[in-house]
Structure 1
Amino acid sequence: MSRVILVFYGSYRQDRQGIKLARWIVEALAARGDRAELVDAKAVDLPMLDRRHSDYREGEAPAAMAALADRIAAADGFVFVAGEYNGGLQPGLKNLVDHYLPQFAWRPAAVASYSAGPFAGIRAATAWRTTLGAMGMVVTSTPLSLARIGGAFDTAGLPAGEDGGRLIKAFPRFADDLCWWIDAAKAQRAAERPPF
């Protein structure tokens, strides 16, 4: 069963490293038979949050915002590739997701965190779990965390070295957990059984 999974990434930095992880996750999910699509906050380029998508009347939201709302609403699940910025959330990714709310409801999300140092973005992952749960998503329990991202991929974008090896080893369980929740949520939505 093919699933539609959006992979969100939010760095605006010139020499951003996490894009390698986001692209690799898209390819790895596609290799499992799912339709994975990258949502790059820098490419979408929404302004700093002033009005959410739901604050606009039908047909009046900016085109890029409306197009992404449709993609989110059509998706079965999400992966948030979360870099750790000063021990917290990546501002570009947070700004992107804050433009939406009802589109995310009752769908599962997984968090893949990373950092330049040895702690693999764990503090950002913890903060994202709280944020995504508050937005109505079920956040999976299996982490995917990558330390020392600057050296974890080779020039072809494939995982390399010890940290890349850990990523390859951890990914199947991470993806299996997300896909189990996607299938469960799809079944409930198909039966038109909202949780409340």
Structure 2
Amino acid sequence: MAYIAVFVGSVRRDRKGIAVARWIEKKLQERNHKVYFIDPMELDLPLLDRMYKEMENPSEKLVQLRDKIKNAEGYIPVTPEYNRSTSSALKNTLDYFLEEYYFKPSAIVSYSPGMFAGINAAQQLRLIFAELGSPSIPSSFAIPRVHKVFDEKGNLVDESYDKRISKFLDEFEWYVNALTFQRSKGTPY
């Protein structure tokens, strides 16, 4: 069992990513992981002015968010693709923190209504998570035509994704276990 933070990437009114993120949450819980579900829509964070570590009196909501990120042993961002990159809402949420992410893996899930499944956003997130000190696992999980994979109620309709997600989470868990073991022996800084 590990503590995993799942980040929702979209705050749009008709967002499809919430179904993807809830499905990822369910799949992690089926593997006995504790999931911190981080939805920028619920956080209502202002545009970043100061990082958490620079704040004198952070809000209780921000303190709770920091605790989730700090206590997580791995991260799964679920990102849409906007203009060949990730969403500003996801980037804003991530940027409040830095050291909290160090030496813990990330595994990127992307989606879009088109055929390319948000792969440009996934590549941008690789750079972002590398800078946060949370290297991404080699695989990413892309969902093209997301509106045909999940129905209007958020239920998975294409069962081939259950097999794909299993392999993806196997790889992610391997990295979570490896980096958790290494952190227990100390970190370079």
Shorter-chain TM-score bucket reads over 0.9
Residue 113 (structure 1) aligned with residue 110 (structure 2): yes
Question: Offset at 1:10?
Answer: 2.4
Matched residue of 2:107: which SS? Answer: strand
Structure 1 counterpart of 2:180: 186
What letter matches 1:183 in structure 2? N
Output the CA distance in 2 between the equivalents of 1:136 and 1:143: 18
Partner in structure 1 of residue 72 of structure 2: 75
**Sequence identity, in percent?**
33
Q: Distance in 1 between matches of 2:115 and 2:188?
A: 39
CA–CA distance in structure 2, aligned partners of residues 153 and 103 of structure 1: 33
**Residues of 2 paired with 1:118 and 1:169: CA distance?**
20
**CA distance in 1 between partners of 2:88 and 2:15 (Å):** 14
CA RMSD of aligned residues (A): 1.3
Stretch moving more, 145-154 or 93-102:
145-154
| TM norm structure 1 | 0.92
Kept in 1: contact 2:80–2:111 (CA 8 A): yes
TM-score (structure 2 length as normaliser): 0.95
Within the alignment, does 1:158 sit opposite 2:151 as a pair?
no
Within a 5 Å distance, the mapping from 1:1-196 to structure 2 comes to 2-57=1-56, 60-160=57-157, 164-191=158-185, 193-196=186-189
Q: Distance in 1 between matches of 2:179 and 2:120?
A: 27
Give yes or no for contact 1:76–1:186 (8 Å, CA) kept in 2: yes
Alpha-carbon separation, structure 2, partners of 1:141 and 1:174: 10
Does the aligned pair in 2 maintain the 1:89–1:127 contact within 8 Å? yes
Per-residue deviation, 1:11: 1.1
For structure 2, the 5+ residue unaligned runs are none
Is there any run of 5+ residues in structure 1 with no aligned partner, and where?
none
Contact between 1:10 and 1:42, CA under 8 Å: does it hold in 2? no
Across the two proteins, how many residue pairs are aligned to each other? 189
